[in-house]
Amino acid sequence: MNLLVVNAGSSSLKLRLLGEDNTVLADTTVDRWSGEMRPLEDFLRGAPSVDAVGHRVVHGGSEFTSATAINDDVRAEIEALTGLAPLHQPRALAGIDAARQLLHAVPQVACFDTAFHATMPAAAATYAVPASWRRKWDLRRYGFHGLSHAYASRRAAELADRPGARVVSCHLGSGASLAAVANGRSVDTTMGFTPLAGLVMATRSGDVDPGLLVWLQRAGLTLDELEDGLEHHSGLAGLSEAGGDLRDVRQAAENGDAHAILALQVYVHRLRQGIAAMAASLGGIDVLVFTGGVGEHDAALRADTTAGLAFLGIGPNSTAVAVVVVEAREDIEIATQTRTLLKETS
């Protein structure tokens, strides 16, 4: 089965055609994609035949806790969740619509980033806010990057030869989150109701005292200004004057820039803190895995992070915890989920 993976980001489109053994048959990325059909049409014109399509969808809400075959009703339910992921959900829908139109006879499957975290226990998923709020708006910690965490944690356990391991997965890119994974199931994560929560990211704040946000609104910030600041001008970009790219921040820090040095220190502090918290949720840790653009390529960051975690058995002189780097392959996870669903329903 040749399976097309459609990974629509907030501003990019990644298309990858995988053979039965996940061999990459064709591959392309459109960096500035506004939802038009043309890139997919061009890709299909030069690619081998497609037998099924798997789509990455960021938010599945409480409705979708596993891969789901797409029909008109499912598409409508995905669209209804747009308010929970306003940057990503419309692009996923654009990818779905384009693929359904161009490959109308081919089965299409939606794979959700939030679904992996649906297994979190209530103690980890529930917010301590008024019960009437939780009931009215279905407020809970959903978690994100689930497709990446699912693949990375499984692959890391295989590489470390530790089946059933307690894995802390670190997905570090422009967006960043951690997941606590026990025997392949998510039991905790750092992101919450939205992808703003948790770690310091490129331009996103991560965890902030909610009282601070209330105070800022009372001080005169509008809701739009608050949202824009937390989403686009916080994180590394807010801490340093070198922008949100960790490579630029590191270069500025090496040149003695005090703001960049502080940015790195805050980033690593919160990362170590989060890893320890995930280990606590697991009752220990067997494998620590780094994935994503930063996690895979920044060896100095990995060294700085693990240097402060010796108390967990992590370090160069310890074999208690395996430290593994895994290439991010959401496409393989999407393909696996899609094939599994189609086999179960055939």
Express each pLDDT in 61-101 by its tens digit.
999 999 999 999 999 999 999 988 888 899 999 999 999 99
pTM for this prediction = 0.95
In a domain, residue 339? The reply is no
Distances (CA, A) of 22 to 182, 258, 339: 26, 46, 11
Do 34 and 177 share a domain, yes or no?
A: no
Residue-wise burial string across 309-323, b where 16 or more C-beta atoms lie within 10 A, e elsewhere: beebebbeeeeebbb
In a domain, residue 336? The reply is no
Q: DSSP H helical segments within the chain, as ranges?
A: 38-45, 72-80, 89-102, 122-125, 131-137, 146-159, 210-218, 223-232, 235-239, 246-254, 258-282, 292-297, 299-307, 330-345
In a domain, residue 167? The reply is yes
What's the order of all strands across the beta sheet hosting 13-18? 24-30, 13-18, 3-8, 52-57, 108-112, 68-69
User: Mean pLDDT across the stretch 156-171?
Assistant: 97
Which pLDDT does position 346 carry in this prediction?
A: 83
The packing angle between helices 146-159 and 330-345, to 10°, is: 100
Question: How many domains does one find in the chain?
Answer: 2
Do 188 and 269 share a domain, yes or no?
A: yes
Do 45 and 194 share a domain, yes or no?
A: no
Model confidence over 109-159: pLDDT tens digits? 999 999 999 999 999 999 999 999 999 999 999 999 999 999 999 999 999
Which pLDDT does position 31 carry in this prediction?
A: 87
Which pLDDT does position 65 carry in this prediction?
A: 96
Do 187 and 306 share a domain, yes or no?
A: yes
Do 98 and 210 share a domain, yes or no?
A: no
Range of the domain at 81: 3-112
Q: Which of 45, 77, 112 is the last residue of a domain?
A: 112
Do 218 and 317 share a domain, yes or no?
A: yes
CATH number, domain with residue 88: 3.30.420.40
Mean pLDDT, rounded, of the chain: 96
Which pLDDT does position 86 carry in this prediction?
A: 86
In a domain, residue 145? The reply is no
In a domain, residue 299? The reply is yes
Burial group, residue 142, by CB count within 10 angstroms (0-12, 13-18, 19+): buried
Residue 48's pLDDT band, with cuts at 50, 70 and 90, is very high
Q: Which residues are known catalytic residues? A: 113
Do 102 and 201 share a domain, yes or no?
A: no
Do 193 and 70 share a domain, yes or no?
A: no
Do 209 and 313 share a domain, yes or no?
A: yes
In a domain, residue 47? The reply is yes
Asked whether the predicted pLDDT for residue 11 surpasses 90, the reply is no
Which pLDDT does position 313 carry in this prediction?
A: 96
In a domain, residue 330? The reply is no
Model confidence over 238-297: pLDDT tens digits? 999 899 999 999 999 999 999 999 999 999 999 999 999 999 999 999 999 999 999 999
Do 265 and 176 share a domain, yes or no?
A: yes
Model confidence over 174-188: pLDDT tens digits? 999 999 999 999 999
Which pLDDT does position 161 carry in this prediction?
A: 97
Do 177 and 310 share a domain, yes or no?
A: yes
Which pLDDT does position 147 carry in this prediction?
A: 97
Asked whether the predicted pLDDT for residue 46 surpasses 90, the reply is no
Which pLDDT does position 291 carry in this prediction?
A: 97
In a domain, residue 294? The reply is yes
Q: Which of 78, 96, 112 is the last residue of a domain?
A: 112
Do 201 and 307 share a domain, yes or no?
A: yes
